[in-house]
DNA sequence: ACAAACTACCTATCTCTATAGTGAGTGGCA
DNA sequence: TGCCACTCACTATAGAGATAGGTAGTTTGT
């Protein structure tokens, strides 16, 4: 159910088409809540049906049209309500840690390969998070820039710092994951013996 | 699909009834992969149908019976295959971090309450993880003890250290979450002003 | 003039997960 | 004798999410 609020969060910066949303998503909210467009389009429809969004049809080229969604008053209210409600605690679902606990069943080579894959994935993710964090710090992040336009300049610092705070948390998690995988590689080498050719 | 492998992992320690599984789950594998019994029972059935488990009906009291599941050769093979396959990378789905990024929309009181709730949840989780880790270190963990019986004593250290390694990763994540929430509380106080009565 | 890449939006289907039950047997204790 | 907590096993249903498509118009480069 958080997808709805992730979309509201994004759309509070400016009105967007479904396509914009699905593109913007990957550069901001997706770091925190991934969704494919096959989920985004139907959800936007449902949100309009529920009165959280309203759409205007905009011409596009000669014959084409596109639908731009804007958050309604009811949408703002729903978002505020969600913000003030207790957070849903996520269930633990971590296949990587599950596997790690049973690494004695893996081939030594496979164990190493998986830890490397895990480390590389998180390293890449970390790089992206740090890059995005930097665009928040210097306020060059496009969605953030559009968002700040609605606010008085004396509010900017407050808004930006919450976003940086969120990214800091994600960066911490990513760094912890990378460090853990690296310790895992050392452990595998120690326990399985180094079989490097 | 990892539920299947989480169940296999647990059942490699010893044969169990569905009820045992759903109880043991919460004390071990659930730290890494939570599942309610309404998922466990049907999955055990499907795994038997697919030949990964076989069940024997055991009498229980005067009239009652229970069904004990044991991993088959095919089950072991499937588990090994999964262990050697690349890990599925989980999508980011973190409502807490999503909210954190938009904390300017929350009431200051609500923001504080949520961060406290988040911190408390992870603190509690951390305590449980550390307690379980300790039972792995001293090998008093019941499922681990049963598991080690299948192995030669010179393998014990290897097996135990992988489990400790997995818990260390979870503990790192939990600690990072707690520390982040604490920084968040300081930030909220700074930005929203201290409105403590 | 045409292809390729991009914008725009949507559907179908399947699996996974969550929630909330049902119902019967057992063992202890008051 | 009756009650309660626990053991055991399962079902029904709805919603969320993943995967894999489809269709139509637009822009850009050659």
Does B119 share its domain with B178?
yes
Please check whether residue B118 lies inside any domain of the structure.
yes
Distance CA B12, CA A53 (A): 52
Q: Does B89 fall in a domain? A: no
Its domain, for residue B164, covers: 95-192
Q: How many domains does chain B have?
A: 2
Distance to chain A for B43, nearest Cα, Å: 17
Domain end, chosen from A25, A58, A84, is at: A84
User: DSSP state, B33?
Assistant: B
Q: Is B82 helix (H, G, I), strand (E, B) or coil?
A: helix
CATH (domain of B36): 1.10.10.10
Q: What is the pLDDT of residue A181?
A: 97
In a shared domain, residues B39 and B113: no
CA distance B197 to chain A (A): 20
CA of B193 to C1' of D28 (A): 54
How far apart (Å, rounded) are the C-alpha atoms in residues B152 and B124?
A: 36
> What integer best gives the mean pLDDT of chain B?
89
The mean pLDDT of B150-158, rounded to a whole number, is 95
Among A41, A64, A84, residue at a domain's last position: A84
Does residue B172 sit in the same domain as residue B105?
yes
Residue B16: inside a domain: yes
CB of residue A59 closer than 7 A to nucleic acid strand D? Answer: no
Using CA atoms, how far residue B193 sits from B115, B182, B196, in Å, is 16, 16, 9
Give chain B residues 44-83 with Cβ within 7 A of strand C. 60-64
B59 and B106 share one domain: no
- Categorize the per-residue pLDDT at B194 as very low, low, confident or very high, splitting at 50, 70 and 90: low
pLDDT at position A1 is 67
If asked whether residues B187 and B124 sit together in one domain, one would say yes
Task: Evaluate if the CB of A17 falls below 7 Å from strand C.
Answer: yes
Q: Exposure of A189 by Cβ count < 10 A (0-12 exposed, 13-18 middle, 19+ buried)?
A: middle
Task: Give me the pLDDT at residue A162, please.
Answer: 96
Based on the fold, state whether residues A11 and A50 are members of the same structural domain.
yes
Q: Residues B75-104: what's their mean pLDDT? A: 88
Backbone angles phi, psi at B69, to 5 degrees: -100, 135
pLDDT digits (tens, 9 = 90+) for B12-50: 999 998 888 888 887 788 778 878 888 889 889 888 888
B112 shares its domain with B153: yes
Angle at which helix B156-192 crosses helix B108-137, to 10 degrees, equals 160
Q: Is residue A54 part of a domain?
A: yes
Mean pLDDT, range B128-135, rounded to an integer: 93
Cα A10 from Cα A80, distance rounded (Å): 14
Residue A56 domain-assigned (yes or no): yes
Instruction: Give a yes or no: residue B90 inside a domain.
Output: no
B173 and A176 in contact by Cβ < 8 A?
A: yes
Q: Are residues A49 and A120 in the same domain?
A: no
Residue B195 has pLDDT above 90, yes or no: no
Split at pLDDT 50, 70, 90, the class of B66 is confident
My answer on whether B106 and B187 are in the same domain is yes
DSSP string, B95-160: HHHHHHHTGGGS-HHHHHHHHHHHHHHHHHHHHHHHHHHHHHHTT--HHHHHHHTTS-GGGHHHHH
Give dist(CA A193, CA A196) in Å, integer.
9
Can you tell me the mean pLDDT for B82-104? 86
| A25 belongs to a structural domain | yes
Residues of chain B positioned with their CB less than 8 A from the CB of A180: 168-169, 172
Please say which residue of A84, A105, A128 terminates a domain: A84
| Residue B1: predicted pLDDT | 65
- pLDDT-flagged residues of chain A (< 70): 1, 194-197
The reply to whether A60 has its C-beta less than 7 Å from any atom of strand C is yes
Q: Please indicate whether, in this complex, the C-beta atoms of A105 and B79 are within 8 angstroms of each other.
A: yes
Residues A187 and A116 in one domain: yes
Asked if the structure places residue A75 within a domain, the reply is: yes
Picking from A123-132, A166-175, B75-84, B188-197, which range would have the lowest pLDDT averaged per residue?
B188-197
Pairwise CA distance, residues A119 & A115, whole Å: 6
pLDDT at B118 over 50: yes
B62 or A115: whose pLDDT is higher?
A: A115
Dihedral sign for Cα B121, B127, B128, B133, please: positive
Chosen from A7, A89, A98 to mutate, greatest number of chain B CBs within 10 A? A98
Are B17 and B77 in a shared domain? yes
> Which helix (H) or strand (E) is A31 found in, with range?
none
SS3 assignment for A38-91: HHHHHHHHHHHHCCCEEEEEEEECCCEEEEEEEECHHHHHHHHHHHHCCCCCCC
User: According to the model, what pLDDT value does residue B193 have?
Assistant: 77
- Examine the domain organization and report whether B102 and B75 are in the same domain: no
* B75, two tokens: 């089950």
């Amino acid at each position: 159910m958080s997808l709805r609020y992730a979309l509201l969060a994004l759309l509070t910066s400016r009105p967007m088409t479904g396509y914009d949303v699905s593109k913007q998503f990957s550069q901001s909210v997706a770091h925190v809540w991934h969704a494919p467009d096959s989920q985004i389009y139907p959800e936007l429809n449902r949100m309009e049906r529920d009165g959280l969004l309203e759409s205007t049809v905009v011409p596009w080229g000669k014959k084409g049209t596109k639908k731009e969604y804007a958050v309604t008053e009811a949408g703002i209210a729903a978002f505020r309500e969600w913000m003030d409600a207790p957070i849903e605690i996520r269930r633990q679902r971590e296949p990587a840690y599950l596997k790690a606990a049973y690494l004695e069943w893996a081939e030594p080579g496979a164990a190493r390969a998986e830890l490397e894959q895990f480390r590389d994935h998180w390293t890449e993710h970390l790089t992206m998070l740090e890059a995005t964090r930097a665009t928040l710090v210097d306020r060059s992040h496009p969605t953030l820039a559009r968002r700040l336009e609605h606010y008085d300049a004396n509010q900017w610092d407050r808004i930006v710092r919450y976003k940086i705070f969120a990214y800091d948390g994600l960066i911490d998690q990513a760094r912890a994951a990378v460090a853990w995988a690296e310790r895992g590689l050392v452990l595998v080498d120690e326990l399985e013996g180094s079989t490097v050719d």
